[in-house]
Amino acid sequence: MRLDVTIDGDLSQMMKGQLRAGERAVSSAMRGAGQTLKTQWREQVVAAGLGRRLANTVRLETYPKGQPSLKAAALVYSRAPKILDPNETGAVIRSRDGFWLSIPLPAAGVGPKGKKLVPGEWERKTGRRLRFVYLDGRRALLVDDGTKAPGNVLVKRRGRLSDPVTFRNRTIPIFLLVPQVRLRKRLHLFQAADAVGSTIPGMIVSNWKGE
């Protein structure tokens, strides 16, 4: 038996067309997978109670820029990895100097742009001195009993510098002090990445449309 095969068209052009189709398919799949993963990471951060602002630090970059490629890649990352990582892995956080971690209590208020205050910032803001109160081997307090900080202290109130407000016969807990804090695992970012990654081959196939 003899078979004659005839190619209808230019084989070289056909192969180039399939190559371009493959480049578009891979690039589209990576872009879609990256966008899906970015959305899932942001949703996880919000669901974990870490806030929309932190969720918006999750970003997507695709490579190469501006052209399809069989080697296309997507990078999903956070601009605040030092915050997300402990919530992904669970971690024990200790003071840098080996003493106490300060946890602001409601009476501490907030600093500029809603940031949490640390004891030194609180004293500079109010012009009052915090007093250390030892509770037990695992806890202590920094309290405000209305005592003016030493020195010639002026604080800004209503846009003007003036003497700090002082008071007597009250003791207000401002910071709780603990030797360490254990963060529970609240995120599953790598698990989501693995799940999205497993869908990429199917996405490439579905996106591969010949010319």
Higher pLDDT, 57 or 8: 57
Burial of residue 23, with CB atoms counted within 10 A of its CB: 0-12 exposed, 13-18 middle, 19 or more buried: middle
What does the pLDDT read at residue 27? 93
Q: Is the peptide bond before 64 cis (omega within 30 degrees of 0)?
A: yes
Name the burial class of residue 49, with classes exposed (0-12), middle (13-18) and buried (19+) by CB atoms within 10 angstroms of its CB. Answer: exposed
Tracing tokens 């969720």 back to the chain, one arrives at: 55
Mean pLDDT within 147-163 = 86
For the chain, which residues make up each domain, given as ranges? 11-90+185-207, 92-182
pLDDT bucket at 180, cuts 50 / 70 / 90: confident
For tokens 């360490």, name the residue: 180
Q: What is the rounded average pLDDT for all residues in the chain?
A: 88
- The CA distance from 81 to 88, in Å, is 10
10 Å Cβ neighbour count for 61?
A: 12
pLDDT digits (tens, 9 = 90+) for 78-93: 999 999 998 998 878 7
H, E, C per residue of the chain: CCCCCCCCCCHHHHHHHHHHHHHHHHHHHHHHHHHHHHHHHHHHHHHCCCCHHHHCCEEEEEECCCCCCCCCEEEEEECCHHHHHHHHHCEEEECCCCCCEEEECHHHCECHHHCECCHHHHHHHHCEEEEEEEEECCEEEEEEEEEECCCCCCEEECCEEECCCCCCCCCEEEEEEECEEEECCCCCHHHHHHHHHCCHHHHHHHHCCCC
Over range 194-208, report the average pLDDT: 93
Q: How far apart are CA 20 and CA 15, in angstroms?
A: 9
pLDDT tens for residues 44-65? 999 999 999 999 999 999 999 9
13 versus 203: the higher-pLDDT residue is 203
The pLDDT-based confidence of 179 (bands split at 50, 70, 90) is confident
Instruction: Show the CA angle centred on residue 86, arms to residues 81 and 87, nearest 5°.
Output: 95
